[in-house]
Amino acid sequence: MKRIGVLTSGGDCPGLNACIRAVVRTASYYNIEVIGFMRGFKGLIDNDYKVLDYKSVAGILQRGGTILLTAREPRFKEYSYRKKAFENIKNLGIDALFVIGGNGSFQGAYLLHKDFDLNVIGIPKTIDNDIYGTEYAIGFDTAVNNAMEAIDKIKDTTMSHERVFIVEVMGRDSGFIALEVGMATGAEITLIPEYPLPIHVIEEKILKAKEMGKGFAIIVLAEGVASAKELAEILNQRLKDKSIGEIRYQVLGYIQRGGSPSAYDRIMASKFGVFAVEKYMEGNKNFMVAYEDGQLKIKPLEISFGKIRIPNIQEYEINNILSL
Ligand code: ATP
């Protein structure tokens, strides 16, 4: 009987469990045994694993987080530890390793292929949705929905008190979450790192909202642009004589990353998992699952290294047309 390994690595996100379930159930369907490694690459090095069968993944589809736990493991950057990891994989008779992770995890996995000729397969996940080579990564849709729901609530207060409010969303260096959340909440201003706006333009937009009799404005701020605290301080200083009132801010933080995955994430994670196992069974090696032009594809794992995806300008323009 063939054996494969699976792990989750890097930051957690909703949909990881749905993907683990899909990998395990597809493997079971085709009579392949699955070993789940705990805490990402840490579990490979420490030989910490459990056998995952059909039943062991019951009831997890709708749960956030990951039953395999996840971690960042600096030791994996050292050859000696990767060798140890490979010895463990070899001793368990594992034929291929499925890594549900971001591009950092894919780089780590690729080294197992390069140094030891292990077949490694990447399944993309990150709420930031910036992995190069795929238009979708597991977790993004739920993060957008989580942020949208929170901003809808903040908007009630903002409108009632006629305030200007800055809401900082996640995304690290990338603006995908902010862009989609800005559109979904009808934000007056959306600030993303890929298309920066000078401070005087932001100021003009706020004043325009006032002139239009709006009384309030929501600014969705990607964390990669600046901190909400910093931006609020600057704007409060610059607009202090303009009868705007105090500009307040909220950092949404980890609530964006947790909770039950959206239907879209459950479905995409399931499709990614099934597709990855089936493509492996067809004999493909060292690939990542990619979603492009509405289709699932496989691409060389290394395609995602050293590059990140950026939002297209048309999406950004839509926000501009619909906001101020
Ligand atoms: P995300 O950033 O979306 O949370 P990620 O997979 O990009 O996911 P990283 O923290 O970059 O997250 O990487 C996860 C783990 O992958 C690291 O802790 C490390 O164990 C391994 N890794 C990352 N880069 C390398 C590398 N260049 N060489 C070896 N291992 C690496």
SS percent in the chain: helix, strand, coil, step 5 = 45, 20, 35
Q: Which pLDDT does position 43 carry in this prediction?
A: 98
Residue 209: Cβ-neighbour burial (10 angstroms; 0-12, 13-18, 19+): buried
Q: Residue of the nearest CA to atom 12 in ligand 1?
A: 10
Q: Which residues of 72-103 are buried (b: 16+ CB within 10 A; e: fewer)?
A: ebeebeeeebbebbbebbeeeebebbbbbbbb
Selecting among 12, 53, 117, 128, the annotated active-site residue is 128
Which tens digit of pLDDT belongs to each residue from 28-43? 999 999 999 999 999 9
Per-residue confidence (pLDDT) for residue 294, from 0 to 100: 97
Ranges of the chain with pLDDT below 70: none
Structure-token pair, residue 44: 């490979």
Q: Which atom of ligand 1 is nearest to the CA of 41?
A: 20
Q: Are 14 and 261 in contact (CB under 8 A)?
A: yes
Exposure string of 13-35, with b = 16+ CB inside 10 Å and e = fewer, is: bbbbbbbbbbbbbbbbeeebbbb
Nearest to 121 by CA among 301, 306, 308: 301
**Residue 221 CA, ligand 1 centroid: distance in Å:** 26
- Distance, CA of 81 to CA of 306 (rounded, Å): 23
H helices, E strands: number in the chain: 10, 11
Binding-site residue positions:
11, 21-25, 72-73, 102-105, 126-128, 155, 163, 170-172, 186-188, 214-216, 223, 248, 254-257
CA of 302 to the centre of ligand 1 (A): 14
pLDDT of amino acid 323:
86
139 lines ligand 1 (CB under 6 A): no
| Residue 48 bears catalytic tag | no
Radius of gyration over alpha carbons of the chain, in Å? Answer: 22
Determine the pLDDT at residue 239. Answer: 96
Considering Cα of 284, then 286, then 289, then 293, what sign does the dihedral take?
negative
**pLDDT tens readout for residues 108-153:** 999 999 999 999 999 999 999 999 999 999 999 999 999 999 999 9
The pTM (predicted TM-score) of the whole model is 0.97
Q: Give me the pLDDT at residue 236, please.
A: 97
* Pocket perturbation via mutation, ligand 1, pick of 16, 72, 127, 173 by most ligand atoms within 8 A of CB: 72
Predicted local confidence at residue 268, as pLDDT: 98
- 111 ligand 1 Cβ < 6 A: yes
* Residues in CB range of 214: below 8 A, 6 or more apart: 188
Residues β-bridged to residue 96: 4, 119
Distance CA 254, CA 262 (A): 16
Other C-beta atoms lying within 10 Å of the C-beta of residue 313 = 11
Q: Is the CB of 102 under 6 A from ligand 1?
A: yes
**199 by DSSP, 3-state: which?**
helix
Any idea what the Cα angle at residue 140 is, between residues 42 and 154, rounded to 5°?
A: 120
Q: How many CB atoms lie within 10 A of CB 307?
A: 12
Does the C-beta of 73 come closer than 6 Å to ligand 1?
A: yes
